[in-house]
A and B are shown apart, each in its own frame.
Chain A
């Protein structure tokens, strides 16, 4: 019996020894895997970290010990701040990818540890943002409220709290909107925007009054997402922003909505703020200007050159008979700006129907030059004589434009006048006259040109 027991005990010991040996082998294999992963990870640049994401997740907890050993490595105290930062960020990122309960605990330790680099702690907050664990809420709120810490871990905490969507964080996030540091306020807006409750929306409304345009710009998309019924109201509000980016975002969004915006945009064309009027014309021009011809034509009379320019460009792009008739009428408008823009658009449209009115408009002292250029673009034979006459006027701009137009529509009839223009007091008139003569190319024109060039040289 005793022998039997001895044999059994011996077998048990043998089995246990085998199990232990197997476990040791398995542990050393595991350690090898961890070492290989760590070695590989430490050779990767920031953009390549994602390539080992799955391996961290597969190995899980066993990698944590090595990571924490590296975090607490005393040699790092000798390193530059930059090297320390990236060492700690790497560790925090890896902990986040492991993502187990133990990893979360370690990340919480990291964000709370004021001896770590600000951006090491920030990266820990970013890892918690990805994991979205409720367990991290209280510690993150503590960090957010911790004014003894520098901003990076604090705004990192704000982003993380937003991702976790913890309502408990709202009061702290709203408070953070009053901080001096702009990144803190950015983090607070993001946090509130992602939580999205009524209380958070109230905080976002406060952010819309921030002194920094960039904060306001960040706030609009959250409000639009959370209060879709007020989308148009917010977008129109953003058009009044002095922040360029906020206005640009709004213009893009309004253009996307397209036609339903018309009724909201039309009143803005009469707004007191010239920028609002301009943005309204710009949006209409990008949507469907042909449905707003009347309003665009009216905008040609605006006191601001940017509004007029935008309206002219939009009308020129339409290029339809519906646009042409009112424009022909505008060639006789009292306002010289309107006459000038109308002539430019008609020139871009290149319609024969506009030739006679433009010939009449050529007589205008201040805007006749633009009519001359329009005639040059239309290239109607009817315009040659009036342009030759304009070449002899006192008005420099008109002479320049007439010579330019005659270059576009070369005619033998113009040769003599162009030869005279080669002696014009204005350099640009002479240049265009020479170009016109070159295009006409008659022997008389060439002879005059040769003489002119010899004189210049």
Chain B
């Protein structure tokens, strides 16, 4: 756990639950929607179904409600509303209840990110402050032992090298930052919805076995609380929870990796597979991805874009490997230093 400042943890947890509940109630009502195929009505968690509902997951209703199908530990299926929309508030910091806008992008510092969903490298090279805070200050506060013990980036990384490194990864994958943020928001909204309803339903997040996402079974390992973590940017984003989830790689995927990366030792291969199939992060990260294209550097809280794309079925392993031309292991493990993300010496230069 990050050794961040714990301030009235329980009080805040209660506050957060209450606020989340209000937010969800406001944003997700009604809880019952028409089932598209059978015209029956969809009932959300804690309601369960014996059979897996015939819906893609994620699924968006005509009314714009986004839903994922989940499987419970008592072998039932359930539907969880996870809508991500502009202006939805999280009600985090006392008194600033409506300031965290999920789909807000930092357009002032990164106009191209706001316009296209990807950073311009030129803008990243040019920027000297973000949210009015110097990049040196953001980097100092984001390194291990700064505002968080674990750090938001590795010691040899800085905020620009990390933004640039991840922007290149996303570009290689043919995706955008908002596309990457969305499934993470969905995970966070699963935790929020189940957390909210658990008070009345007596079923906690622990009752969820996995949820389906683009045909992948994503196992939610934890969505538990930790101490408060303040943002390294001059914004209102704060963290309170762990989000940990993973998929099982199938035999074909494992065989593919074994064949392509036969030079790796068994231990390295096991780590490699885990890095591809497992993410431990916090709920600050989807907001960071959406707003700044920031996934955290190489720390224990990084939501690696390559893993996001595989876990949530945005790309299959062959596509990912092709994008990195056989250098997938390096792309996952190498830190983003100034040297290897500079325009001249970039690893992933066109």
Q: Is B134 an interface residue (CB 8 A)?
A: yes
CA distance A344 to B129 in the complex (A): 11
A310 / chain B contacts, CB cutoff of 8 Å: 134, 136-137
- Complex contact A431–B343 (CB within 8 A): no
Q: Is A370 an interface residue (CB 8 A)?
A: yes
- CB-contacts of A379-429 with B (<8 A): 396-397, 400-401, 404, 426-428
Interface string of A313-346 (1 = CB under 8 A from B): 1001000000000000000000000000000100
- Complex contact B136–A305 (CB within 8 A): yes
Q: Is B179 an interface residue (CB 8 A)?
A: no
Q: Is B27 an interface residue (CB 8 A)?
A: no
- CB-contacts of B115-169 with A (<8 A): 120-122, 125-126, 128-129, 134-137, 139-141, 145-147
Q: Which residue of B lies closest to A279 (CB)?
A: B140
Q: Is B252 an interface residue (CB 8 A)?
A: no
Q: Which residue of A lies closest to B349 (CB)?
A: A396
- Complex contact B343–A396 (CB within 8 A): yes
CA distance A432 to B134 in the complex (A): 26
Q: Which residue of A lies closest to B145 (CB)?
A: A244
Q: Is A296 an interface residue (CB 8 A)?
A: no
CA distance A244 to B147 in the complex (A): 7
Q: Most A CB atoms within 10 A — which of B10, B125, B128?
A: B128
**A124 to nearest B CB, angstroms?**
21
- Complex contact A47–B136 (CB within 8 A): no
CA distance A212 to B133 in the complex (A): 28
- Complex contact A401–B122 (CB within 8 A): yes
Interface residues on A, range: 20 to 34
- Complex contact A313–B129 (CB within 8 A): yes
**A290 to nearest B CB, angstroms?**
17
A163 / chain B contacts, CB cutoff of 8 Å: none
CA distance A61 to B62 in the complex (A): 68
B141 / chain A contacts, CB cutoff of 8 Å: 244
**A181 to nearest B CB, angstroms?**
16
Interface string of A415-457 (1 = CB under 8 A from B): 0000000000011100110000000000000000000000000
Q: Is A282 an interface residue (CB 8 A)?
A: yes
Q: Is B11 an interface residue (CB 8 A)?
A: yes
Pick the contact of B128: A47, A313, A427 (CB < 8 A): A313
CA distance A370 to B343 in the complex (A): 14
- Complex contact A309–B136 (CB within 8 A): yes
Q: Is B350 an interface residue (CB 8 A)?
A: yes
Interface string of B216-251 (1 = CB under 8 A from A): 000000000000000000000000000000000000
Q: Is A140 an interface residue (CB 8 A)?
A: no
- Complex contact A344–B120 (CB within 8 A): no
**A435 to nearest B CB, angstroms?**
9
- CB-contacts of A87-146 with B (<8 A): none
CA distance A388 to B145 in the complex (A): 47
- Complex contact B122–A404 (CB within 8 A): yes
**A119 to nearest B CB, angstroms?**
15
- Complex contact B122–A306 (CB within 8 A): no
Pick the contact of B136: A46, A278, A432 (CB < 8 A): A278
Interface string of A346-382 (1 = CB under 8 A from B): 0000000000000000000000011001000000000
Q: Is A265 an interface residue (CB 8 A)?
A: no
CA distance A282 to B134 in the complex (A): 9
CA distance A427 to B167 in the complex (A): 14
Q: Which residue of B lies closest to A278 (CB)?
A: B136
Pick the contact of A306: B10, B11, B140 (CB < 8 A): B140
- Complex contact A47–B11 (CB within 8 A): yes
CA distance A370 to B121 in the complex (A): 13
B137 / chain A contacts, CB cutoff of 8 Å: 282, 310
CA distance A47 to B15 in the complex (A): 12
B125 / chain A contacts, CB cutoff of 8 Å: 369, 397
Q: Is A177 an interface residue (CB 8 A)?
A: no
Pick the contact of A431: B120, B135, B136, B145 (CB < 8 A): B120
Q: Is A173 an interface residue (CB 8 A)?
A: no
Pick the contact of A312: B122, B128, B139, B147 (CB < 8 A): B128
- Complex contact B128–A344 (CB within 8 A): yes
Q: Which residue of B lies closest to A247 (CB)?
A: B140
Pick the contact of B126: A213, A344, A428 (CB < 8 A): A344
CA distance A282 to B136 in the complex (A): 9
CA distance A235 to B149 in the complex (A): 23
Q: Which residue of A lies closest to B11 (CB)?
A: A47
A306 / chain B contacts, CB cutoff of 8 Å: 136, 139-140
Q: Which residue of A lies closest to B8 (CB)?
A: A47
- Complex contact B128–A428 (CB within 8 A): no
A344 / chain B contacts, CB cutoff of 8 Å: 126, 128
- Given contacts A396-B343, A397-B343, whether A316 and B128 have CB atoms under 8 Å apart is yes
A404 / chain B contacts, CB cutoff of 8 Å: 120, 122
- Complex contact A244–B140 (CB within 8 A): yes
Q: Most B CB atoms within 10 A — which of A213, A309, A400?
A: A309
CA distance A427 to B137 in the complex (A): 31
CA distance A213 to B125 in the complex (A): 34
CA distance A440 to B145 in the complex (A): 49
A426 / chain B contacts, CB cutoff of 8 Å: 350
CA distance A183 to B128 in the complex (A): 40
Q: Which residue of A lies closest to B10 (CB)?
A: A46
Q: Most A CB atoms within 10 A — which of B10, B134, B135, B145?
A: B134
CA distance A281 to B94 in the complex (A): 33
A47 / chain B contacts, CB cutoff of 8 Å: 10-11
CA distance A404 to B338 in the complex (A): 23
CA distance A305 to B125 in the complex (A): 13
CA distance A275 to B256 in the complex (A): 47
Q: Which residue of B lies closest to A306 (CB)?
A: B136
CA distance A427 to B172 in the complex (A): 13
**B229 to nearest A CB, angstroms?**
14
B121 / chain A contacts, CB cutoff of 8 Å: 400, 428
**B281 to nearest A CB, angstroms?**
22
CA distance A306 to B134 in the complex (A): 9
List 6 A-B residue pairs with CB atoms under 8 Å apart, sorted by A's residue number: A306-B136, A313-B128, A316-B128, A369-B125, A373-B126, A428-B120
**A residues touching B (Cβ–Cβ < 8 Å)?**
46-47, 213, 242-244, 278, 282, 305-307, 309-310, 312-313, 316, 344, 369-370, 373, 396-397, 400-401, 404, 426-428, 431-432
**B residues touching A (Cβ–Cβ < 8 Å)?**
10-11, 120-122, 125-126, 128-129, 134-137, 139-141, 145-147, 338, 343, 350
Known: A282-B134, A306-B139, A373-B122; 9 extra A-B contacts, CB below 8 A, are A47-B11, A213-B145, A244-B146, A305-B338, A306-B140, A307-B136, A373-B126, A397-B343, A427-B350
Nearest 5 A/B pairs, CB to CB: A306-B136, A309-B136, A313-B134, A400-B122, A244-B146
